[in-house]
Structure 1
Amino acid sequence: MASTSSSSTTTQWNPNYDVLISDSEDDDDETKPNYKGREALIFVLDANLYEEYERFSEALDIVRKALISGLLVNSKDLIGIVFANTAKNTDPYEASSLDNIVVPQNCAVFLPLRELSKSIVEHYLRFMETVEQEFGADYGIVGNGGNSDFSAMLRLCINLFENAGYNLVSSTLVYLTDRATPATPHPKTSNLYQRALQKAKDLEGKEIEFQVVPMIDEFDYEPFYKEFLTLVEDGDIDAFEPRNPEELRVLLSDRKLRQNVLRRSLGRFKFSLGPDLLVSVQYYNYFKARFMPRKVRLLRKDNSIVQQKRVIMVRKQSQETMDIVEEQQVKQSGGWYEINLGEMSIRITPEQINRVRNLHAPGMMLLGFKPISDLPENWYYKPQNFMYPDDKNISGSKRLFRALWERCLIREKMAICLFMRKRKSIPRYVALVPVEAGDSEGNTSRALLSGDGFKIIYLPFAKHIRDIDFANWNSMQNEAPEEGVQVFTKVVGKLRTEFQSNSLVDPTVEALQSNILALALDIKTDNAGLSGMPDTKRQDERIAKILPRLNEIFGEDAEVVKKRGAADSSGGNAPKVPKVDVDHLKDIIYIKQLANNDTLSSCTIAQLRDILKSHFDVKAPSHWKKQDLIERVKNLIV
């Protein structure tokens, strides 16, 4: 038979950078993101912004950018727009969609939760054209800068989320305002203040993310917004740290960058710190990966889809004629692998193989600590991940994780661990490097996305490392001395910049976006190439101390003298004159003489194309060079 086939004063993790993920029934299974639902986002604009129209215009422009960016990236997302503190309740776009929703006073729904489309964006753009003159008459403001019931606005947004008609994988409520202390939504001693705090617990229970985006740089969160946001995030009010309003506005306007990336868990596992000491953690990507279409294999004859199935066939062969006597199909669990050792036959079942492959459960085990200085700046081996605590499976994981992170950060140590990310995978050695928010130079947006945590760096094995002698590499053309190579290594290190999707963009994608906006929405953008490139002056300052050393090793660069063009009698450059008689080119006999004398090269490219078109009715492709045109003329004459 044969078959084929440390001491820490912090009591919990920082709630500002906390990550909330729904629980899983199987802790050992890899948690995959839920892509069956859709993301919903409601913009709530405070009508009091209209009193300072520049702020109101900036808020409207943020929403415009988010609409256009969402339309280009993922039009399946649901976006709604609500105006708060309005005197009138004007009918929204598609008013019939609010039949089952009671809109409270001093609130107006401009756009219910809808899929993004060209008509919706155009409707919003038309609104922006007349908003400065007509907003006061159409919507108005409550009293003289007064404030309406904040809890009623929250109840309206919750009803919009619940009546969206789709399974929502995430719900976000963004409140754009410029009213801080003392003009909080309600006085601290009023009943409306307490009702608003009760709605904060409702948002936390329904897993609705709430964000306050101040339209002014100096915004005081005391006392209302500090307590309100703490209740929504279920965090400690003493650990509350307000975010930079300017950064929040930048992140909100670019939805291509931020799509709730911290909620996109790659998997959860248990981190073993020692005997009977486990911490529940999860790991993430820096940014959400792009969705790519699946490959479809088609037959050439009828374009039908090729379907592949894994089949295990068992065949019995005749020892005399070697013909197949018996053949049957078995299930994967019923098959086996057979090894012949002399006269002995050994059968191995798939269950035995799986037991060998599953010697270790998915997880991470701490091996020891090393100084961070021992780690090279970059391992070009495998993309890095981020690790955060999860207090739902093991109580106290956040506190212990925070203590470990702080001690590693203070002592500048990294943890060396053995990591097996999922079942049937290969265990890998990783380094956990502590990273705190805002430690990267000028990288404030990345800090908001990543926060404090451990960066998982995959350590390569010996087979992944190549020892290349750059001094002797390609020695026929590389005559640089060893000290010159070392100096240029320092230059490259000084000029190296970390890739950020919010600052360095793909010029092809930017050009495509510009063309789409121009054709679909009649919006012309200035696309001057890559935006957010590193500052050249700053780069010059970084390598200023190394430049004298370069001149000592390689010498001064010789300045290349430009060639002067031939000048005519008037002092200007002489234009290019054809070397053949243009009138004679209309005669085919004259062209044959040029071909026989091998003097077709005296014709210009335009003349050669005209010869092919007029005499031979041949249209030459635009990428043909002069020599290709000459060869084509000769072949046609012969």
Structure 2
Amino acid sequence: MASCSTNVDWNPNFDVLISDSEDDDDQAKPNYKGREALIFVVDANLYEEYERFSEALDIVRKALISGLLVNSNDLIGIVFANTEMNPDPYEARSLDNIVVPQNCAVFLPLRELSKSIVEHYLRFMETAEQEFGVNYGIAGNGGAADFSVMLRLSINLFENAGYNLVSSTLVYLTDKATPHPVNSNLYQRALQKAKDLEGKEIEFQVIPMIDEFDYEPFYKEFLTLVEDGNIADFEPRNPEELRTLLSDRKLRQNVLRRSLGHFKLSLGPDLALSALYYKYFKARFMPRKVRLLRKDNSIVQQKRVIMVRKQSEETMDIVEEHQVKQSGGWYEINLGAMPIRITPEQINRVRNLHAPGMMLLGFKPISELPENWYYKPQNFMYPNEKGVSGSKRLFRALWERCLERNKMAICLFMRKRKSIPRYVALIPVDGAAAADDTSKPLLYGDGFKIVYLPFAKHIRNIDFENWNSMQNESPEEGVKAFEKVVSKLRTTFQPNVLVDPTVEALQSNILALALNIKTDNAGLSGMPDAKRQDERIAKIIPRLNEIFGDDVEVAKKRAGSDASGASAPKVPKADTDSLKQLNYVQQLVNNDTLGGCTVAQLRDILKTHFDVQVPSKMNKQDLIARVKELIV
């Protein structure tokens, strides 16, 4: 899970980009294809306090396993900083074009994760306590290596990864508040390197290995320069929370850089702004499905092939057969004796009648929108200067105006090509207020939440008065007692901490099979402890017994049997003699207990009281409906 700060990157006070691009330039679109790259840099100074060093290695281990299970195509590397020696890494040939400095050691270059890589790291962890000091060592007294050199090495690793990278993240695990003295030249050189990270679009995350960590000496200014934000808006993260999130799953790219698409918001004639939209809720990444052959357990690869065959009209044998590309195929429709062929290009031309975009229709009060509308997952919208210059300033003005007047914008939105246009509501979100709510793992920051509005066909009319006519027979004191029970059992809902038991159980089975790592299944569910919940309501249970009495366990009914052991025939629940009285039948209808009569009794009721002879094929439900119809 990535972290993002509330200093959004479109505040006009410190971020206004002026370029020569025209407003109608649609070619400047970000590249969404590629792989994610993540480099863990572990400070060797942690080895002086081996518990911290061991915890850092364990965090990297969990991230490696999580990346192997979730998405092994992503690239992960491991570097040790402030080391005295730099032995050869795993697959040393990959560093032929990179100069490794003295006080840095590359343990694992940027590579796709595999079982062999994870096993290599696990073997290293087993001997790290005895052999790390001998093989790597610690540079100087407390570490005097150049922090900027380590950053330069990480940038070189990203540039020589050999893949198109959609995101690059550098994670630094340390317990030092500053890598160099404040007034030293190395300190200023490290701050200058922060602008290189910002220019290369490399995200930097510092993970403190101590709970009481001071960001003021160095990392407050350094992180602000990397994120190109305002130092006054910097808010330090909780170190314990950062370590927990990193251990739970592989650190993802900053959500502000992971957009789902780019579009233009048309506000009027010759007035538009450029924007990007994102997922409003952070999705949990599930393991990929893999199909294996039953014989040799090889992975099944699917490939779509279009074959054209010509058959002989006389023998119906295939005379000619050849393969064509998808663009070379066609769809054929026979209208009588006339065949009509439609090419894929013609179909795509019809599908792409309109370009993706959003058009403003008007404004409505936010109070007219229901609080919860379960129709389609919501999105979030931020501005983007690459499409239309000045979009951030115009977006900011629109957001402030809607927030001030408590209005929402009603728009027509087409998300992507070949999609259906939908009506949406743009609701302004105040980042400062949203960040305080820990129960929602949403994008926090100033922007617009995109709420999809349902059409008339999506809304169902339900008569709730007749739908649930059961009246509450509980006394008022019983309701208040159960309100106390609910308040005692209530827990803080944090989706980023609560895990999926099914996925965790699958992960434990995979680890036990592939890496011989056994996991305690008792704590996989992440649910509250049942014993602790029982202790909370132990004092209320006697009061519940006084109000409602003790629960009586109902004995299970057993099927009756005759002397031979076979099941006995069904016995009618209604008295046959009483059914001869019309008042008794009327009472059964009013109590809706007419189903207790057998088919023979229902036929006798119709014959005796209404002189109706029904067909022999009529079932029981039709007989009951006929009696009710006549009794009224």
How far does the alpha carbon of each residue in 1:134-162 deviate from its partner, in whole angstroms, 9 at most, with x for none? 32222222222133111111111112122
Matches within 5 A, 1:70-219: 70-180=67-177, 184-219=178-213
Aligned partners of 1:229 and 1:516: how far apart in 2?
Answer: 37
- Segments of structure 2 that go 5 or more residues without pairing to the other structure are 1-6, 291-300, 307-321, 557-562, 568-632
* CA-atom RMSD in angstroms: 4.9
Equivalence for 1:461? 455
1:480 and 2:471 equivalent? yes
| CA-CA distance at 1:12 after TM superposition | 5.7
Q: SS of the counterpart of 1:59?
A: helix
| CA-CA distance at 1:407 after TM superposition | 5.3
Equivalence for 1:345? none
The answer on whether the counterparts of 1:262 and 1:450 sit within 8 Å (CA) in structure 2 is: no
1:507 to 501, 506, 513: 501
The answer on whether the counterparts of 1:247 and 1:445 sit within 8 Å (CA) in structure 2 is: no
Q: SS of the counterpart of 2:466?
A: coil
2:282 to 280, 284, 287: 287
Equivalence for 1:589? none
1:526 to 520, 530, 537: 520
Matches within 5 A, 1:53-452: 53-180=50-177, 184-255=178-249, 258=252, 260-273=254-267, 276-285=270-279, 286-287=281-282, 311=330, 324=337, 329=341, 331=343, 358=354, 362-365=357-360, 367-371=362-366, 373-406=367-400, 408-409=402-403, 412-423=406-417, 425-435=419-429, 436=431, 439=434, 443=438, 446=441, 450-452=444-446
1:34 and 2:37 equivalent? no
1:559 and 2:550 equivalent? yes
1:561 partner amino acid: V
How far does the alpha carbon of each residue in 1:108-131 deviate from its partner, in whole angstroms, 9 at most, with x for none? 111111211112112212222222
| 1:109–1:429 distance in 2 versus 1, CA, 3 Å | same
| CA-CA distance at 1:438 after TM superposition | 6.8
Q: SS of the counterpart of 2:72?
A: coil
1:560 partner amino acid: D
| 1:188–1:470 distance in 2 versus 1, CA, 3 Å | same
Aligned partners of 1:216 and 1:24: how far apart in 2?
Answer: 50
How far does the alpha carbon of each residue in 1:523-548 deviate from its partner, in whole angstroms, 9 at most, with x for none? 111223763336889999x99xxx9x
Aligned partners of 2:392 and 2:214: how far apart in 1?
Answer: 29
Equivalence for 1:611? none
The answer on whether the counterparts of 1:271 and 1:366 sit within 8 Å (CA) in structure 2 is: no
| CA-CA distance at 1:376 after TM superposition | 2.3
| 1:444–1:54 distance in 2 versus 1, CA, 3 Å | farther
Stretch moving more, 62-71 or 214-223:
214-223
How far does the alpha carbon of each residue in 1:448-482 deviate from its partner, in whole angstroms, 9 at most, with x for none? x5544322111112221112123422x6xx63369
| CA-CA distance at 1:504 after TM superposition | 3.5
Q: SS of the counterpart of 1:479?
A: coil
| 1:254–1:402 distance in 2 versus 1, CA, 3 Å | farther
| CA-CA distance at 1:74 after TM superposition | 1.0
| CA-CA distance at 1:66 after TM superposition | 0.2
Aligned partners of 1:103 and 1:558: how far apart in 2?
Answer: 76
Aligned partners of 1:558 and 1:479: how far apart in 2?
Answer: 21
The answer on whether the counterparts of 1:267 and 1:421 sit within 8 Å (CA) in structure 2 is: yes
Q: SS of the counterpart of 1:145?
A: coil
Aligned partners of 2:207 and 2:11: how far apart in 1?
Answer: 20
1:470 partner amino acid: F
| 1:327–1:427 distance in 2 versus 1, CA, 3 Å | closer
| 1:142–1:24 distance in 2 versus 1, CA, 3 Å | farther
Aligned partners of 1:415 and 1:451: how far apart in 2?
Answer: 18
2:97 partner amino acid: N
Equivalence for 1:592? none
The answer on whether the counterparts of 1:274 and 1:366 sit within 8 Å (CA) in structure 2 is: no
Stretch moving more, 510-519 or 388-397:
388-397
Aligned partners of 2:90 and 2:271: how far apart in 1?
Answer: 56
1:439 partner amino acid: A
Aligned partners of 1:482 and 1:463: how far apart in 2?
Answer: 38
Aligned partners of 2:376 and 2:116: how far apart in 1?
Answer: 43
The answer on whether the counterparts of 2:439 and 2:494 sit within 8 Å (CA) in structure 1 is: no
Normalised by the size of structure 1, how large is the TM-score? 0.67
| CA-CA distance at 1:398 after TM superposition | 2.9
| CA-CA distance at 1:215 after TM superposition | 1.8
| 1:272–1:297 distance in 2 versus 1, CA, 3 Å | closer
Matches within 5 A, 1:611-622: none
Q: SS of the counterpart of 2:263?
A: strand
| CA-CA distance at 1:65 after TM superposition | 0.7
Aligned partners of 1:27 and 1:498: how far apart in 2?
Answer: 48
Q: SS of the counterpart of 2:138?
A: coil
Aligned partners of 1:446 and 1:538: how far apart in 2?
Answer: 26
Aligned partners of 1:190 and 1:59: how far apart in 2?
Answer: 28
| CA-CA distance at 1:515 after TM superposition | 0.8
Equivalence for 1:45? 42
2:124 partner amino acid: F
Count of residue pairs the alignment pairs up: 510
Aligned partners of 1:100 and 1:273: how far apart in 2?
Answer: 51
Normalised by the size of structure 2, how large is the TM-score? 0.67
Q: SS of the counterpart of 2:260?
A: strand
Identity fraction in percent: 70
Aligned partners of 1:369 and 1:222: how far apart in 2?
Answer: 45
